[in-house]
Structure 1
Amino acid sequence: MKILSKQPTPEPAPEAGNEPTTDARDDAHELGGWSTGAQANTTTLVRWVAWAAICGSILLSLGTSLTRPTDTPSTDHQPPPGTGAQGAAGFATLYASEYLLAGKGDEGRLAAYYPGAATLRLEGSRGRLTPSQLTVTRLRQTGPGIWSVTVAARLQPPSPPVENDDVKGKDSDSPGPDTGADAGPPQGESVRYFQVPVASAPRADGSTGYVAMSLPAEVAGPGTVDSPHTVYGTPQPPHDRDPRVKTIRSFLAAYLAGDGDLDRYLAPRTRLTRIAPAPYTAVDLTSLAADGPADATGVPPDGTVQRLLVSVRARAADGTTLPLTYALTLKTRAGRWEIASLDGAPEARPAPAPSSP
């Protein structure tokens, strides 16, 4: 006996023009577990995230520029090394020299440095003040392209008027040269200081031009301070048994007087050139001060370093002597002292730290 299974009756296909049911429409729009509505939401979310990242980058860059320190000096206002400062100093020195020499009728000479001098009325004869030496003692920049230069001038006293004896003998009643009724004793040599304002700017040809902004102003000279304490001890007279003395004497004789081989007394990798032509014929060591205790009769172990302040008297060809002082650094090697360096200045002792209240 056959058992017949009941087959499901297929649903009739929708006729053309009939709209699908709601469930069939939803199933047809489902793709891989994501509905088109979810896809739209995801696309919108990604778009907003991208815009947020772009805006965040812009805000971050803007915040960095706004929080940058505003007191940082701009490199555009810094003068090129070796141009503005040196040029202003040289210009001020020439201007100060012409200013001190100028007399009646020299307004045009000054106008070459300071145009406003063309309207001046100078008095006195030219050369009444004669600078024998000028040097810059202070140089500072007060603004972009503006320099304040202080020039020290060593002035010679004015020359006394020359009287013509022949003319005076012929007419004793005629008055002599007008030296001034209140002329006092002749002045001695003096050093005076003048502050010169100088402006600099680039020229059309690419060079730097300078001009004085006003007449010089006479100012007080720089003050002096106490000399700093050095690391050296009390100066001692040289002893022939001291091996340091032998090295220093031989070194200075070769360096100043051309006596001996200079390299023989130098430490390895130390390079010095003797003075040529030799200005002295002999060198006498008068005293030396060391920065620490040392055995005056022996040589410490190799690698020992010591700084010394050495005083000498160098004898010239005419027999006169000149006192000189040298700051030297010595180092031991192979059982002897050698010159490690000719120091630029004596070594100063570090200043003590301020005590706490």
Structure 2
Amino acid sequence: MSASLRRDRRGPTKDQPSTGAPPRARSLPVRRTAVMRTAVWLAVAAGPLALVSSCARPDTAVRSVPAPVTRTAELRTESVTPAGYAELFLGLWLRGSSEDGTAADEVHAMAPSVPMPTWGEKSPAVERLATVRTARQAQDAWSVTLAVTFKEPVRDRSERTAAAPGVRYFALPVVAKDAGTTPAFAVPAAPMEVAAPSVIAQSAAPYGREVPDGSALASTVSEFLTAYLGAEGGAERYLSPGITLGALAESSFASVQIDELRAVQATDGKPGQDGLVVRVQAQVTATDAAGGQWPLSYALAFTARAGRWEVTALQSGLEDKAAKAKTASTHTDPALKGTATTMQTVAARQGTVAAGGITR
């Protein structure tokens, strides 16, 4: 019995036929499938767990800081204008003396190499200094032309000396640089007296048509200017709807007389149909309370409405020049069109400034 049991534990003998695979051999495929299924589920679950873990734990890794982007700063070119410095220097130079004086000390501080003038009994009396031209000669070099008005000596107005009344012109060389927060200036040489600027020959005025005396247009112009210049109130009643006109700072004129009234368009002075526009220029003499007479000129635009003339614009009188400049710019060579456009802009700005009192 015991021998038989020991043979069973060792397995079948050669005389006993095999009844199939042993139990362990049969269970291996089932175990392998279970292990693989478990591994797959673990892998699927590992993704979210890893994400949660990475967000929860502190990041000890050194983060790479992106390099700052280098941007080219826009250069701000400050406008260095030597006009004021030239006016200051020339005023001190004309008042100073080679012997003494505070003005001479100031001049030597500003320009040590510039010699001082030597006057006779007294230095010339300067009434006013004004810059009339600033010409750039090089990158930092300027030539400034100044007009100087001298006072006439009180002791004898008939005596004309070197400092006699009148306007004289001086050109002053100035070196001007933008030295960081403040500008820097230098006057390398003494002033030189130059000739007066030439006067431009004026073209024919566009106001070539006479306005009949006593017409509705002439009466409206006279009444409006009389009210506007302060002799009578209520200038607003002559304005078109939507037009406003600022009052003068002082209304000291006692009377206004129309000396000449001319128009651009041919007109009989009657309002005519609504929307008719007429531009006029009035030469007037305004008399103040002290009896002083002021010759003044006014360019106005009138529009007809409901059988009356209404003021629609207080103009400069240069509007035709602006229109010609605009026309010239459309027929100018492309290489020169920039210059024509600049001239047009200047003329337009002049008109805007002169007509600034009336707004819509």
TM-score (norm 1): 0.61
Aligned to 1:317: 289
- Cα deviation, 1:95-135, whole Å, max 9, x if unaligned, reads 11112222222542212332323xx3642358422221221
Q: Does 1:198 align with 2:193?
A: no
Partner Cα separation in structure 2 for residue 127 and residue 347 of structure 1: 49
Q: Which ranges of 4 or more aligned residues in structure 1 deviate by more than 6 Å?
A: 351-354
Segment of structure 1 superposing worse, 301-310 or 267-276: 267-276
Aligned to 2:147: 152
Aligned to 1:112: 109
Measure how far apart 1:146 and its partner are. Answer: 2.9
Partner Cα separation in structure 1 for residue 309 and residue 110 of structure 2: 57
Aligned to 1:103: 97
Q: Alignment partner for residue 188 of structure 2, among 213, 219, 236?
A: 213
Please list every run of 5 or more consecutive structure 2 residues that lacks an aligned counterpart in the other structure. 1-73, 332-360
The one-letter amino acid paired with 1:239 is D
Which secondary structure does the structure 1 equivalent of 2:281 belong to? Answer: strand
Partner Cα separation in structure 2 for residue 127 and residue 135 of structure 1: 23
- Cα deviation, 1:282-307, whole Å, max 9, x if unaligned, reads 212222001121122x2122222211
> Rg bigger for which structure?
2
Segment of structure 1 superposing worse, 207-216 or 306-315: 207-216
Alignment CA distance shift 1:109-1:292 (3 Å): same
Measure how far apart 1:273 and its partner are. Answer: 0.9
Alignment CA distance shift 1:134-1:122 (3 Å): closer
The one-letter amino acid paired with 2:190 is L
Aligned to 1:265: 238
Q: Report % sequence identity.
A: 28
Aligned to 1:16: none
Aligned to 1:222: 197
More helix by share: 2
The one-letter amino acid paired with 1:229 is A
Quote the RMSD (CA, aligned, Å). 3.0
Q: Does 1:306 align with 2:282?
A: no
Aligned length: 247
Partner Cα separation in structure 2 for residue 220 and residue 319 of structure 1: 37
Measure how far apart 1:185 and its partner are. Answer: 5.2
Which secondary structure does the structure 2 equivalent of 1:257 belong to? Answer: coil
Partner Cα separation in structure 1 for residue 274 and residue 312 of structure 2: 13
Partner Cα separation in structure 2 for residue 153 and residue 136 of structure 1: 9
Which secondary structure does the structure 2 equivalent of 1:253 belong to? Answer: helix
Measure how far apart 1:222 and its partner are. Answer: 0.5
The one-letter amino acid paired with 2:288 is A
Measure how far apart 1:235 and its partner are. Answer: 4.6
